């Protein structure tokens, strides 16, 4: 018993910039505001910054896969809204079914020429069971390509991801120079499952050069507009709700 307590005490709390041994993470998020995709991109860039600290800059492309329902709910990735260092590196796949999306994700994870993979799947399709989740984890671990799988409007189910987040939008801090300008993208992040870190809650903010984590606090119902991340069908961005 004492040994078990000591092991638990040594388990660190997650923070940006820590080396991750969890190549497959899931983010449960509402579809209406693009907070899941936004946080997935922020986590991916944080991992790339850590990797590039001792290596040459990573200029490899990245893969973004959406099934048909996710595409309808959250819209397509909008290139001008992506971080400048990623705009020319996007490979987007619009899959007709969850099965097709899972196939594309697994094939992407087998390709070491990709910097990382982001997936968006809506709801809880039967195809995304524990076996399918385990296949994604094994592919990510074997080939060293990280996956952030965004689960839009989904309930928490069984999954093999070694880190699982619940994500919601949070109010952005006021800009320093222009009070009417949009603030930095900010999220309420609940790490409810982690094999390497203690579960916990944070307020995360993408500060361009750095992913900033602050202790979780009670948030108001207001939320920032992350509509620059996606562009809906036609002329309307579905990210703004």
Q: What would the pLDDT profile of 200-238 be if each residue is shown by its tens digit?
A: 888 888 876 667 877 766 443 334 434 344 444 333 333
CB atoms within 10 A of CB 74: 29
CATH code, domain carrying 27: 3.40.50.300
* 6 assigned to some structural domain: no
CA distance 187 to 38: 9
8-state DSSP, 11: P
Query: Range of 90's domain?
Result: 21-240
Residues 6+ apart with CB under 8 A from 203: 170, 186, 187, 188, 189, 213, 214, 215, 216, 217, 219
In a domain, 185, yes or no: yes
Q: Is residue 8, in this structure, part of any structural domain at all? A: no
Number of domains in the chain: 1
The answer to whether the beta carbons of residues 26 and 163 sit under 8 Å apart is yes
- Look at residue 26 and tell me if it is in a domain: yes
Indicate whether 169 belongs to any domain.
Answer: yes
Confidence of residue 159 (pLDDT cuts 50, 70, 90): very high
The CA-atom distances, in angstroms, between 125 and each of 70, 77, 130, 161 are 12, 22, 11, 17
pTM for the full predicted model = 0.81
Q: What is the mean pLDDT of residues 155-172?
A: 90
CB burial of residue 164 (10 Å; 0-12, 13-18, 19+): buried
**Using an 8 Å Cβ cutoff, are 60 and 132 in contact?**
no
The answer to whether residue 192 is domain-embedded is yes
Sign, CA dihedral 103-104-108-109, equals: negative
pLDDT at 218: 44
- C-alpha 51 chain-centroid distance: 17
* Residue 123 pLDDT level (bands cut at 50, 70, 90): very high
Is residue 197 a part of any domain in this protein?
A: yes
Classify residue 140: in a domain, yes or no: yes
């Amino acid at each position: 018993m004492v040994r078990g307590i000591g092991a638990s005490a040594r388990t660190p709390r997650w923070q940006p910039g820590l080396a991750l041994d969890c190549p497959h993470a899931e983010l449960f998020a509402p579809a209406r505001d693009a907070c899941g995709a936004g946080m997935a991109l922020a986590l991916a860039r944080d991992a790339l910054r850590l990797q590039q600290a001792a290596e040459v800059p990573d200029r490899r492309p990245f893969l973004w896969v959406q099934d048909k329902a996710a595409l309808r709910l959250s819209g397509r990735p909008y290139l001008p809204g992506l971080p400048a260092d990623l705009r020319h590196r996007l490979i987007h796949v619009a899959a007709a079914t969850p099965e097709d999306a899972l196939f594309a994700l697994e094939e992407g994870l087998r390709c070491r020429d990709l910097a990382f993979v982001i997936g968006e799947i809506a709801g809880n399709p039967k195809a995304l069971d524990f076996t399918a989740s385990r296949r994604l984890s094994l592919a990510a671990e074997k080939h060293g390509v990280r996956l952030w799988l965004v689960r839009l409007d989904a309930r928490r189910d069984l999954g093999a991801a070694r880190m699982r987040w619940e994500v919601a939008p949070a109010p952005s801090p006021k800009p320093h120079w222009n009070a009417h300008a949009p603030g930095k993208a900010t999220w309420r992040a609940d790490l409810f499952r982690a094999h390497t870190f203690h579960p916990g809650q944070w307020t995360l903010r993408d500060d361009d050069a750095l992913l900033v984590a602050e202790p979780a606090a009670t948030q108001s119902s207001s939320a920032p507009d992350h509509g620059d991340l996606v562009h809906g069908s036609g002329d309307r961005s579905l990210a703004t709700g």
